Structure 1
Amino acid sequence: MAFTGRWETETQEGYDAFCKLLGIPDDIIEKGRDYKLITEVTQDGDDFSWTQIYPTNAKVTNKFTIGKECDMETIGGKKFKATVSMEGGKLSVTFPNYHHTSEICGGKLIETSKAGSVVLKRTSKKI
């Protein structure tokens, strides 16, 4: 249940390059650069509800069960099927254009998204 809680972005590395790679417009990138993204997670065993609240007040919630295919959605509204796995306490899922992992390290939520050689690393604190 380590992921359960409300998290707020402290730092992010590679934000601009990652957003550009995904085709996010420059004005949206600018708005989000210093935004403190809020992530709300509830966990009940292998069942998760993962909500992210973005700068435009857009909210995306994905509900999933570890090891089972589920319907997911990107911030851009693209729907896709994915299976989230957990290995060594690290959640892992492949989105349409990138691979995403989440883990708790030193009491922080560390999220890493990789698309080729471009990496976005976001560190969040519990609030």
Structure 2
Amino acid sequence: MAFSGKYEVESQENYDAFMKQIGIPDEQIAKGRDFKYTTEIVQNGNEFTWSQLYPGHTTTNKFVAGQESEVETMSGKKFKATVRLEGGKLVVDFPKYNHTSEIVGGKLVETSIAGGVTFTRTSKKVA
């Protein structure tokens, strides 16, 4: 159960540049910049329940690695995607970017890449 746990955002790199790259409006970028949200992950083999708890809003996605699933973004947009488990990392192609999640030193490290801009979010495990 490498991913299971509750994680709180600790740091972010290239947030503004990445959000602009994928077309997020400036006012939404400003609102989201300092959100210290929580990610809760329950892993049972290749089955995942991945919840992101924002102030006043929670987004939960359930998926099986290697199988197509409907995934919802923070903004409420839904699309079909196949989350792949590759070398201990979860990899998914969103419509505008590629996203990878992995556990490094007990921390959840999420990396998103769009048009040459790399956004990295690191979250510490709290439970």
TM-score by length of structure 1 reads 0.93
Q: How does 1:10-89 map to 2 (within 5 A)?
A: 10-55=10-55, 57-89=56-88
Q: Quick one: percent identity of the two aligned structures?
A: 61
Number of residues of Structure 1 aligned to a counterpart in Structure 2: 126
Aligned-residue offset at 1:25: 2.4
Q: Matched residue of 1:9: which SS?
A: strand
Which AA in structure 2 matches 1:33? R
Q: Which runs of 5+ in 1 are unaligned?
A: none
- 1:10 Cα shift? 0.5
Shift of 1:62: 0.9
Pairwise CA RMSD: 1.2
Aligned to 1:114: 113
Secondary structure at the residue paired with 1:30? Answer: helix
Residue in structure 1 matched with residue 100 of structure 2 by the alignment: 101
Runs of 4+ that moved beyond 4 A = none
Deviation at residue 5 of structure 1 after TM alignment: 0.8
1:14 maps to amino acid: N
Corresponding residue for residue 6 of structure 1 = 6
- More off after superposition, 41-50 vs 73-82: 73-82
What residue ranges of structure 2 are gaps of 5+ in the alignment? none
- Deviation of 1:74 after TM superposition, in Å, equals 1.1
Give CA deviations for 1:14-71 in whole Å, capped at 9, x if unaligned: 100111122222222112212212101001111000011235x222111100111111
Partners of 1:93 and 1:58 in 2: how far apart?
Answer: 23
1:62-91 Cα distance to aligned partner (Å, 9 max, x none): 110011111111112211111111111110
CA distance in 1, matches of 2:125, 2:77: 28
